[in-house]
Amino acid sequence: MEKLVILNDSDNVAIATTDLAAKDTVNVNERQLNLLAAVPAGNKVALTDLAAGEPIVKFGQHIGTLTADVKAGQLVDEHNLSDAAEDDAKSTSPAADLSKYLTKQTLMGYRRKSGKVGIRNDLFIVPTVGCITPLMDVMVQQFKAAHPDNGSFDNIILLKHPYGCSQLGEDFEQTRQILCDAALHPNAGGVLVFGLGCENNQMDGMKETIEKMAGIDPDRMKFLVAQEVKNEFATAQEMLEELNTAAANDHREPVPLSELKVGLQSVQPAAVSPLTADRLLGHLANVINANGGSTVLTGLPNLAAAEDELVKQSASQEAAADVQHVFGHMRDYYAEFDQQLVSEPSAKEQAKGITTAKELAVNTLQTAGDAAISGAISYGKKVSAAGLNVLEAPANDLIDSSAEAAADCQLVVVSTGVATPYASFVPSVKVAADSALAAKKQRWFDFDGGQALTKPFDELAKEFVDDIIAIASGKETSNEKAGLHGLAIFKIGVTE
């Protein structure tokens, strides 16, 4: 295992893969580097003598400016590095050529009447309001009693949430929007939208929104208002049986990778995440984007310090304007509560080697690979542009993955340095940052990213991409095996 790794040819620092002791001599880039101090895993070491005022470059990006002279082999951290001035924070990497990621691989998906492609044939039960969610459990129990194998469906997913009533303004509108987004997701082979009858989020409003968005297919989408029928359970079973019959002949067929939309997340990264799981996500993003698919990166607070870079990396003026719009909207939201969108790294993050806000943003951005940004999406909106998209959402694990799913991502891939069982209402692939974590929680993880420290990266990256394509073609994720699915909606404003 290499002890120090250079992430980009233009970097002037290397990253420690493990804790290194002072006075160690380490081979890096075919030369010996004498360490002047202890270097914790994930932290940065200067490759050459550098003077105060010089930029520190990591991932090919300027992450900060030295506040003191440093020697080759010296630790670069909060004691000698500060955030770069905005005017100086420029990418040093040339425009990416993704041609080497082109592949003839395909996935096996479900082609919907709308033209969209799903990677699952799931049954979604979508409540208009939170107070009726306990009734959905009974509905599923009754359906599974008749269909222990889920009938025509891969999974039965209850999109439980606590909202739909006592909401006002934008808060109410975005709750309805996310629920309609979910109802129209291509992974759903059948949908039952279930309401109470007296909630704010009335069924007529749901129908109107869905009709405007894409139209209603009555064979695949049913609507039930409990207060309007004598026996909601009997009526629900009739509707579910109709959906089951409609989906009976659905089948997978080969589709190109250009049909794949993947949400990307880095959640509570470990010190080695940029060298392991994050790096694998970046490679996956390059493969998908090179082949005409779409990737979606969110968690705007973690990206905010790199907003200028994201604007510069946009593929068009329209995309750049959209990037500025979503960041501006999120910044205004934070300002309403006297908060700053950009925050300095915590002591815990600094211990993992993240010294500046710009470095935190650059680390997060690497999970999205090297493509130019083709679009930026407001919360609750669908992906429309192939390539890398930035999505407005607040850097909360489940809210972000739900927003990516609502945007039509057929699966979400998560790099993480902690064990967490959360999952969205689409397959949620968990990539462990280190092998010990992957071994400890095998039932929660889908891939051991820690292998990147012991196996040739190109070999592991191919294995990872093949595994993602297998999952897109029907291989169950850990959350699906355990029956874990979730939905979290971004809550704002006041209630009445």
Residues 46 and 150 in one domain: no
Indicate the number of domains in the chain. Answer: 3
Q: What is the CATH number of the domain that holds 138?
A: 3.40.1400.10
Among 49, 70, 88, give the residue marking a domain's end: 88
Residue 102 inside a domain? The answer is: no
- Report the alpha-carbon angle 205-486-186, nearest 5: 60
Residues 239 and 388 in one domain: no
Residues 285 and 352 in one domain: yes
Residues 64 and 156 in one domain: no
The token duo for 373 is 């940004």
Residues 274 and 193 in one domain: no
Q: What pLDDT, on a 0 to 100 scale, did the predictor assign at position 121?
A: 98
Residues 443 and 370 in one domain: yes
Q: What pLDDT, on a 0 to 100 scale, did the predictor assign at position 85?
A: 60
Q: What pLDDT, on a 0 to 100 scale, did the predictor assign at position 5?
A: 93
Q: What pLDDT, on a 0 to 100 scale, did the predictor assign at position 95?
A: 60
Tens-digit pLDDT string for the chain (496 aa): 889 999 999 999 999 999 999 999 999 888 899 999 999 999 999 999 999 999 999 999 899 999 999 999 999 999 999 986 654 434 334 468 999 999 999 999 999 999 999 999 999 999 999 999 999 999 999 999 999 999 999 999 999 999 999 998 999 999 999 999 999 999 999 999 999 999 999 999 999 999 999 999 999 999 999 999 999 999 999 999 999 999 999 999 999 999 999 999 999 999 999 999 999 999 999 999 999 999 999 999 999 999 998 999 999 999 999 999 999 999 999 999 999 999 889 999 999 999 999 999 999 999 999 999 999 999 999 999 999 999 999 999 999 999 999 999 999 999 999 988 889 999 999 999 999 999 999 999 999 999 999 999 999 999 999 999 999 999 999 999 999 999 999 988 765 5
Q: Which structural domain range is residue 144 located in?
A: 114-246
Residue 296 inside a domain? The answer is: yes
Residue 392 inside a domain? The answer is: yes
Residues 190 and 315 in one domain: no
Residues 292 and 395 in one domain: yes
What pTM was estimated for this model as a whole?
A: 0.94
